[in-house]
Chain A
């Protein structure tokens, strides 16, 4: 069954702690993306990666970090430097290039108190 998995679905952390969100895909896609979604807002691009060992900042990269050591995996770390980390985080993947369909995972809802 091909697709994108994100884990966990719900995540709770104390303020000041770093937390890593998992994203795995078995679609053999080259490109992967992380978006943040807040109530009443669209999806905002955090980071994206076109190939293994390479990634670029999106519109709101401050306070986040990523790695792309394997084609299938693109974990996102929310650091303590992120001022408002509570949000719904969505991972997506696509074939190479920006003008193609992106497939989204089910999302992780992160709550930081």
Chain B
């Protein structure tokens, strides 16, 4: 089955700097890679996703890159703000089966 590794587990950056979170996956049949943001005590919310037919996708300060050959994808947040502080999860589809396999999460801390 699919295995998703996520690094780092905690990331602290100064407000205004950029943050990068990286994930690797194992199943070459996976084609859908979403990123979720979870605030304390709440359910995760999708912030951006990418499919295997593109290498990069941007939405304002957030971008995701995908390297299918190396089986890794990354989340980039520029000009970080205090409201970006949260736990971020990467995920990959399960190669045709329903459901997603999630990474263990990155706690992003924005220092004022």
A residues bordering B, Cβ < 8 Å?
A: 4, 31, 33, 35, 40-45, 48, 50, 56, 58-59, 90, 92, 97-107
Instruction: Give complex CA distance A97, B32 in Å.
Output: 11
Q: Are A40 and B9 in contact (CB under 8 A)?
A: yes
Q: Are B43 and A104 in contact (CB under 8 A)?
A: yes
Mostly, the B contact residues are: strand
Q: How large is the interface on B (under 10, 10 to 19, 20 to 34, 35 or more residues)?
A: 20 to 34
Instruction: Give complex CA distance A82, B100 in Å.
Output: 22
Q: Are A43 and B44 in contact (CB under 8 A)?
A: yes
Instruction: Give complex CA distance A102, B46 in Å.
Output: 8
Q: Are A98 and B104 in contact (CB under 8 A)?
A: no
Q: Are B43 and A42 in contact (CB under 8 A)?
A: no
Query: Quick one: which of B31, B49, B96, B99 has the most chain A CB within 10 A?
Result: B99
